[in-house]
Structure 1
Amino acid sequence: MVRSFFLLLLLSGLLACNATDTTTESSLIDATATARIDSTLQSLVDAGSIAGVSALIFEKDQEVYYNAFGYADREAQKPMDRNTIVRIYSMTKPITGTALMTLYEEGAFQLDDSLAQYAPEFADMQVFVGPDEDGNMILEPAKRPVTIRDITRHTSGIVTSTSDTTAYGKLVRETDPMNRENTLEQMAEKFGSLPLAFHPGDQWAYGPSVDVQAFLVERISGVPYADYVQAQVLDPLKMDNTHYVVPEADRGRFAAAYRMAEGEKLERVPDEAANSFNFQRWALTPGGYGLTSTIDDYMRFARMLVHKGTFDGATILKPETVELMATNQLSDTISQRMWLPSKGQVGFGIDFAVRTRPPASVEENHGKVGEFFWDGAASTLFWVDPVNELTAVLFVQKFPFDGALHKKFRDAVYGPIVLTGQ
């Protein structure tokens, strides 16, 4: 009898502890946040600023939000949904960086090795320092070699200056390294023949460094880049809907692309232009853009990162490698950072922006210190928030890139920004 009494007491205590644990464990995405996100995304569609949108959020290994609004194909009245395939553009970059870092883990290179050690195409680089009085290029030897770290953080000086009106810009355009008919090796040869836009490590300038990463993967592994990333990243993560070339059987799921025209009117990008890269195989398999994916596929990639390299039985990277990639690699001496400051209080790691400080104003993008993220030209976005064990993916297909859309989505997820001391 006494024994039964004590067992009942023990059981009651355990139940009380469990009940306490359940009620004290807070969730960022609660009913209020869900309603806020729904309202925000629906309002964007209703206002005509986007044709369609989907968003997926996991928190502490649980799906805590999914919804879709509007159309993947507005003209055909085809709703945006979970199976919609979109162009992820620069959200290809973190996948490429992951592929590269699998070779780093094998000891194939060190980050501060010179690029030329593996790719002689980039030996003895010259730097464009400006035009002379006749408009000719003034060149000088690079102060140091381009390193692999440089091509992972956009400090290489390798650029595609398509809008530069100098002789240098004209030379870059004529050389045309990123032509789709070039193989990655031909692309590298052409970039190697061009002067750098600045001395390695002096500036942060977004550009084709990640395409050079894809070439480096191919050069070091001896495997075509598309095959390598498929075998080492996409297949192990079961990202079965992620491709450079959308299979014919899946093209009915491919979203249309839209752009904001004059008068703030959303118009369809002609399919011939929007689909030209992804409906046929080209010689170029770029590391910086080109993949298409579904929201669930890309979430599998994001969840691998929040799990520090392992997900659903597949280990892609070691925890210390993911931590390295998510650590700011930009020193304070790199003051010229193109448009990177528009992303908020961030630095840059290995193919991710990395949040280093809380928002300094309510106008900035919301996010947690330690978060790492990137986005794509058609306004797609993802981030990994290790503090809340949260991963978020936002899919739209809108040009030009809409940073204001990201600000609204982030504020919907986290709530209004509260500045320190207020």
Structure 2
Amino acid sequence: MLRIPSAIVAALLLVASARAQPRAPDLPRVVDEAAVARLDATLAGFVERGDVVGVSALVLERGEEAYVGAYGHADREADVPMTRNAIVQVYSMTKPVTGVALMTLWEAGAFDLDDPLADYAPEFADVVVYAGVDADGQPILEAPRRPVTIRDLTRHTAGIGADGGHEALAAMLREADPMNRENTLETMARQFASVPLGFHPGEQWAYGPSVDLQAFLVERISGQPYAEYVREHVLAPLGMSETRYVVPEADRDRMAAVYRRGDDGALSPIDGIDVFNTQAWPLTPGGWGLTSTLDDYSRFAQMLLNGGVLDGVRILQPETVRLMATSHLDDAVTQRMWLPSKGQVGFGIDFAVRVRPPASADENPGTVGEFFWDGAASTLFWVDPVNELTAVLFVQLMPFDGVGLHHGVREAVYGAFRARGS
């Protein structure tokens, strides 16, 4: 039987209560004519200032297309304009897709979230925790205070692959090389298990390879290769035919180039960064690697907004989506890496979850109860259940959003409109 901590039960009840109240049909829409004008001006402005090469966005409200816009180039050097069907590398926006795949198995009763990871992956039965180095420079290792659980993987509290800034631990991870694209998921897991945890399970939030291990778990529990499982149980049923690891040669002229913004603000293409998506590799990571289009990823977001169903096809039950979109982080977890930079958020199952309104105008605008995630090349999506709204923002910019794009687009969507719950 599933063991859900009382704090999560309380949060689930609050979220369920908020969502149980349908939006009144006579309430004003968020994306009105003024918001459309703001969005056009915002996207065009980022291109005109040279902050990005190309950008596109798709917003749906109450199940209808409220805004779509594309500006600049998908590939400046090839003179390919940005369009709504450009194919982009979504990087960590792969993670929520993997989380949904994992939770289809949870719904089937294949595991409980608080089960020890080692119950399904004996590779992790004897993990130890790194606690520094002794006077001779040798690592100090401790037994974990409790086992790593599957819930730890879903909320980034496992400690696996975390180096905490310790060079000795970072060197161990480099030597193990678990994320080598020539590895299978099974090899990847075995190599992660050979390296000490960066902290005791459940005591810190540290972004890392937890979702890649979720993909490994899907493969281990289902007995089916992960790429096949996610295609069969998530992507194909949703009609997401253009969300994939490998882009066929016939579609590669639609692939957007990834650009690096230098210290001087100049944008230069990153050569060879698409190599993972132009041929098949043994590694099929759960935390990154998918490519998608605006419309494809929007279908995924709409399924979540609808409580796990789209066009009559059910992927998850509404209760499961609510569980995923509820913060599982206890207040005792105070070390949260860079998560606070996302605003007043907690973390659920592969989503950040907004738990309080923005504390200042500098924070990204949004609505309490929304859940979202982004990708290394500055892509973003969010689901706003209160306003029945989903948004997908595509761009290919590294390092991650150093130009304020996410704040600008969110501000353009919500504008002076004060979303209920914000």
Same fold (TM over 0.5): yes
Corresponding residue SS for 1:70: strand
Contact 1:362 1:417 in 2 (8 A): no
Number of positions where the alignment pairs a residue of Structure 1 with one of Structure 2: 397
In the other structure, the counterpart of 2:233 is 232
- Matched to 2:235, the amino acid is L
State the Cα distance separating 1:150 from its structure 2 match.
Answer: 0.1
Deviations 1:217-266 (A, max 9, x none): 00000000000000000000000101100011100110111010131111
CA distance in 2, matches of 1:168, 1:135: 12
Question: Distance between the aligned counterparts of 2:134 and 2:228, measured in 1?
Answer: 45
Mapped contact 2:130–2:197 kept (Cα < 8 A): yes
Over residues 157-216 of structure 1, what are the superposed CA-to-partner deviations in whole Å (9 max), with x where a residue is unaligned?
A: 01254x945222111100011111110000011111111000000000000000000000
Q: After the TM superposition, which of the residue ranges 166-175 and 315-324 deviates more from structure 2?
A: 166-175
Deviation by residue 1:366-414 (Cα, 9 ceiling, x = unmatched)? 1100000000000000000000000000000000000621011111111
Match of 2:85 in 1: 83
Partner of 1:159 in structure 2? 161
Please give the alpha-carbon distance, in whole angstroms, between the structure 2 residues aligned to 1:329 and 1:51: 37
Matches of residues 327-366 of structure 1 in structure 2 within 5 Å?
A: 327-366=326-365
Q: Give TM-score, length-normalised by structure 1.
A: 0.92
> Aligned equivalents of 2:174 and 2:416: distance in 1?
44
Q: Which runs of 5+ in 1 are unaligned?
A: 1-20
Aligned equivalents of 2:141 and 2:113: distance in 1?
27
1:412 counterpart = 2:416: no
Q: How does 1:1-400 map to 2 (within 5 A)?
A: 24-159=26-161, 161=163, 164=165, 166-270=167-271, 273-400=272-399
Change (3 A) 1:64 1:183: same
Identity fraction in percent: 63
Following the alignment from structure 2 to structure 1, what is the Cα–Cα distance between the partners of residues 278 and 216?
22
Instruction: Give how far 1:34 is off.
Output: 0.7
Question: Match of 1:178, as an amino acid?
Answer: M
SS in 2 for 1:384: strand
Q: Which residue of 1 aligns with 2:4?
A: none
- Of the structure 1 ranges 409-418 and 170-179, higher mean CA displacement relative to structure 2 is found in 409-418
124-133 or 185-194, larger mean C-alpha shift = 124-133
Unmatched runs of 5 consecutive residues or more in structure 2: 1-22
* Inter-CA distance 26–124: structure 2 relative to 1 (3 Å threshold): same
- Rounded to whole Å, the distance in 2 between the matches of 1:360 and 1:267 is 35
After superposition, the CA RMSD in angstroms is 1.7
Kindly indicate whether the alpha-carbon contact (under 8 Å) linking 2:354 and 2:367 is maintained by their aligned counterparts in 1: yes
The structure number with the bigger radius of gyration is 1
Q: Please tell me the residue identity of whatever aligns with 1:243.
A: R
User: Contact 1:242–1:297 at 8 Å: present in 2 too?
Assistant: yes
Structure 2 CA distance for aligned equivalents of residues 201 and 32 of structure 1? 45
Q: What secondary structure does 2:275 align onto? A: coil
State the distance in 1 between where 2:237 and 2:214 align. Answer: 21
The 2-side partners of 1:237 and 1:417 are apart by 32
Shift of the alpha carbon at 1:115? 0.4
Q: TM-score, normalised by structure 2?
A: 0.92
Give, in angstroms, the shift of residue 135 of structure 1: 2.2
> How big is the shift at 1:134?
2.6
Paired residue type of 1:364: E
Residues 50/208 of structure 1: CA separation in 2 closer, same or farther (3 Å cut) = same
Per-residue deviation, 1:45: 0.2
Counterpart position of 1:13: none
